Amino acid sequence: MSGICDGRVVVVTGAGRGLGRAHALAFAAEGARLVVNDLGVGLDGTPGPDGPAARVAAEIRAAGGEAVAHGGDIATDTGAASLVTTALRTYGRLDTLVNNAGFLRDRMLVNLGEDDWDAVLRVHLKGHFLPLRHAAAHWRAETRAGRAPAARIVNTSSGAGLLGSLGQGNYSAAKAGIIGLTLVAAAEFARYGVQVNAIAPAARTRMTERAFAETMAAPADGFDAMAPENVSPLVVWLGSAASAGVTGRVFASEGGRITVMEGWRPGPSADKGARWTPSEAGGAALKLLAEAEVPGAVYGA
């Protein structure tokens, strides 16, 4: 196989199913050599009965590509370190990290338990941070040794992280945190030749099949707008050397649409030049709100 990622070594977490599997197959189709990570847990993060990472790696090899499975827990320091080590021992290099692993524990906030909060923040946010940190440490060492990498990290946020989503306070908080992590990493890692971007995908997976139940049937025109494979081309490009100069950005991807998301920017402002009284501050705030853009609605509201 050859293509836009010919010769690159790519790690994809949560690649046993859904978006991660689609990303891994798409990278392989463009010539990348893969480390396919998946812990094999259920939708809620509990242990599953099989090892989907091995199946996806076998699928890539059967198509003529190169892939190795990794079943470690990337939300642990040991598991994240072994993820990078697997790439280096197997292929001798690492070029791209795609952080994708996650699961759901949906509850309204008043019913959301501490364990459900911690579990979702752990896999989504900590599960992004630890692989990112270990990969960046390798690329820093490469830079200091005079081997400047063209390294790429693609993180996975969500519309829930941009706007919020009813019944998903834990998930929304984690996905918003991933955007902040992406911006900081892009700034800090630039000196090592590492570009860091994030996607906010909308696709039909185990995590979203209820939300997209009405789109499960095959469309009459043959284009399935909710297929996870629609998101992967952008991820592959961001993970390739062709995306040179693109970093610290968030892209929404759904069906055939790609959108550059623009985050918090200063809007209407008022400066008294002295301390406000509470009444004055309230009056100023109401006037500014009347001039400001109305924020997007929280999902499900």
For residue 250, give the H/E element and its range: strand 250-254
CA 143, 260, 174, 50 dihedral sign is negative
Residue 206 near residue 45 (C-beta atoms within 8 A):
no
Catalytic residue among 82, 91, 171, 240: 171
Q: Which of 91, 157, 175, 253 is catalytic?
A: 175
Q: Is 126 a known active-site residue?
A: no
**Angle, CA 223 vertex, CA 220 and CA 225 arms, to 5°:** 115
Long-range contacts of 257-264 (CB under 8 A, 24+ apart): 258/234, 261/162, 261/200, 263/179
Active site residue 91: no
Tokens describing residue 300: 């499900």
Class of residue 66 by CB neighbours under 10 A (exposed 0-12, middle 13-18, buried 19+): middle
List the catalytic residue out of 157, 158, 240, 253: 158
Other Cβ atoms closer than 10 A to 113:
11
Write the single-letter amino acid at 30.
Answer: E
In three-state secondary structure terms, 68 is strand
Residue 146, Ramachandran bin (φ over 0: left; ψ between -120 and 50: alpha; else beta): left
- Are 27 and 239 within 8 A, CB to CB? yes
Q: Is 299 a catalytic residue?
A: no
Annotated catalytic residues are: 158, 171, 175
